[in-house]
Structure 1
């Protein structure tokens, strides 16, 4: 995220129609990522829980939007209080903001910045849902989202991006969300998993994706929307840095996908579509914090490292026995950690800021700062998320019953199924109603 800019009155910026339009488009792209994530996750689960997986992402659009307007934007980006949280009464309810009031030294309205950041707040808890597939009550999940964004996401966003936030002031570089989004969500996923336990049949029953085409569609939508996620985080493109981030997003994602596929071929003997989709997402995650500080060659290296390491990391759940259903920890937590730490190696000192990494003569200083940011967010999110899950579990139960999980969470929680096969193999309609006149005539000729 772009740092706050201090300007003299004589140099005060003016509203830019170009940057405002650009940021509105980027906001729409980031919004599209949540339905894309829903398809990505929805295709990876078994058919009996695919609707629930879609809804676990989709409901975040509703809950987080309302909370963001009421108080979330104010907590995350209001006036700093003790470097831990913000608050501005004008931002509560978005009621005291002028139509053309500009965001902190930039050329876009506060409203535009608020809606752009809203889309980040929406997708972050949705990312967590992939780790909890097949077994969580929808009502408990909805409550968890509301509590989690309030107690975890809004404060962490302030630490990382808010003017006065302690990680921001320390100089931790997180261009678009390696710590605030991906490490935050991945650590939260681990915390909740440790509370709710494994799926019925974990490591025993086959739990293959029911629709790889949906997975590929979701990955494609994520890749597309991620350009808004990353390039938009400079809040304009007057100096070309947003364009650099756009390029780095593309090349890192490509490198990660190829690295993941190469690992699969060597390790398992095949190039899988699931591997291609997962590798692409791993690259997107890793370049999110780092792409504004590195060159395109550095982005290729970061993507390749992320693709390889994340491909190896997804198997850790079988070794250590935690049931991360859709590899949120292996991709988002590990990828976020890698991308954030690699800033300390690949930052050129000539793009986003003058902070240089180890490979560009900057020593270990920036790497140390990145490590503080990584482990502070990881520890806070892990502990706070586990506590929230524990309290909800005690109050109302987080999981569906074992029988409901086995029979299918879609029917239990949503009274629907993803696919209706009731008409398959049924009797044909009478020809007089089933065929148009020309088709009926053609049918008679065939019969004759």
Structure 2
């Protein structure tokens, strides 16, 4: 009886503290998607603002339902061939007990499921920034559903699911450098290579219409990212989540400063768009690495990511791919940088005892990181391009050229972001047209 008593005593018990902490983190991750909508919405021209907001918001609706129906089961269910998971009890989440714990942790399965749901929601939303101004809303919605099923759910299993090949290989991805950012960035590149450039790319000015909106979105992303990163340890018992929280702040600040310094040297000015983009680049790069590096390492990760991402956003003009809002330059490049730097800066005193090259660990971890990075990049790029091609050849991916020039908001949503008709004081209500006609007659008289 003694062994049985010992096993029962050592079995994890539900922790109300960790459960509450993870629910808060889940809400923080959810707020990142509206934050992303504002960030992207401010970066486009006025005529595309609402469409940009809606491309993020629709992801909340579609992915939530798919995740409950089968996505969670595919990503975290019993492994099959190191490629995909499945657990029929999790289909619809109808056979899960209220206090049934996630294996090895002190939080319920429901809590882990909803936390990971928020990751699944924001990842396809990230892709949307590369496609601004030119994609049908129905086509985008279908793409989100198909991409989540074919790309995100399997890749999440590779990286985080028990038995996934990258998980078993020892690829470190604390909170989504490969599964989220490289995945989304590579997908963005694959889709834009299929659907082509915006009308007027490299010819017409396409400046952000609202930099305050961009800064608001960046602030919400920064705030929510603490839940995204620190919450990924699934508890707060041993200090690793606290390390990740600190490193998230440190790397983001360092990347923002590095981007601004590069911008000043290269272009002669410190811009608000540069500050916001630099912060996001730092957040992206520390996402996979923050549990493995020290705060000094986080500074290095942030500085390197800030400079390299600032350099990368200009590549679209050199190579001619129209990445509207720099998803490739920030998320793909930032994700690659942050993931690979684990192989150099892992200290051995964070989430594991793995040491990088600069801490005496040699190149072993670096090569593991390369395997995870380039496998996810290649799969997402090719699969996303195929999905975009199939949708384009069936229902069509793009709006017409006339609709794009006139404004995708009006064409796809029958709305505009800003109503200037009453600027300067106008008539409100149903009497408006009659009074306007009366005033017109007075003028004619």
**2:346 maps to which residue?**
347
**1:46 maps to which residue?**
45
**1:257 maps to which residue?**
256
TM-score (structure 2 length as normaliser): 0.94
The count of corresponding residues between Structure 1 and Structure 2 is 423
Query: Matches of 2:339 and 2:227 in 1, distance apart?
Result: 19
Query: Matches of 1:98 and 1:427 in 2, distance apart?
Result: 58
Query: Matches of 1:426 and 1:298 in 2, distance apart?
Result: 56
Q: 1:149 to 1:427 in 2, by over 3 A?
A: closer
Q: Deviations over 1:120-160 (max 9, x none)?
A: 00000000000000000000000000000000000000000
Query: Matches of 1:63 and 1:372 in 2, distance apart?
Result: 31
Query: Matches of 1:427 and 1:45 in 2, distance apart?
Result: 28
Structure 1 counterpart SS, 2:79: strand
**1:394 maps to which residue?**
393
Structure 1 residue runs of 4+, over 2 Å off? Answer: 7-10, 425-429
Query: Matches of 2:283 and 2:350 in 1, distance apart?
Result: 19
**2:157 maps to which residue?**
158
Query: Matches of 1:126 and 1:168 in 2, distance apart?
Result: 25
**2:36 maps to which residue?**
37
**1:226 maps to which residue?**
225
- 1:425: how far off? 3.5
Structure 2 counterpart SS, 1:106: coil
Query: Matches of 1:12 and 1:162 in 2, distance apart?
Result: 21
Q: Deviations over 1:304-352 (max 9, x none)?
A: 0000000000000000000000000000000000000000000011110
Q: Deviations over 1:285-310 (max 9, x none)?
A: 00000000000000000000000000
Match status 1:403 vs 2:433:
no
TM-score (structure 1 length as normaliser): 0.94
Which consecutive unaligned segments of at least 5 residues does structure 2 have?
1-5, 429-445
Which consecutive unaligned segments of at least 5 residues does structure 1 have?
1-6, 430-448
What are the equivalent positions in structure 2 for 1:20-419 lying under 5 Å apart? 20-419=19-418
Query: Matches of 1:58 and 1:121 in 2, distance apart?
Result: 13
Query: Matches of 1:90 and 1:239 in 2, distance apart?
Result: 31
Match status 1:421 vs 2:437:
no
Query: Matches of 1:11 and 1:80 in 2, distance apart?
Result: 26
Query: Matches of 2:238 and 2:127 in 1, distance apart?
Result: 35
Query: Matches of 1:428 and 1:180 in 2, distance apart?
Result: 52
Q: 1:176 to 1:8 in 2, by over 3 A?
A: farther
Structure 1 counterpart SS, 2:89: coil
Q: Deviations over 1:174-197 (max 9, x none)?
A: 000000000000000000001000
- 1:428: how far off? 6.9
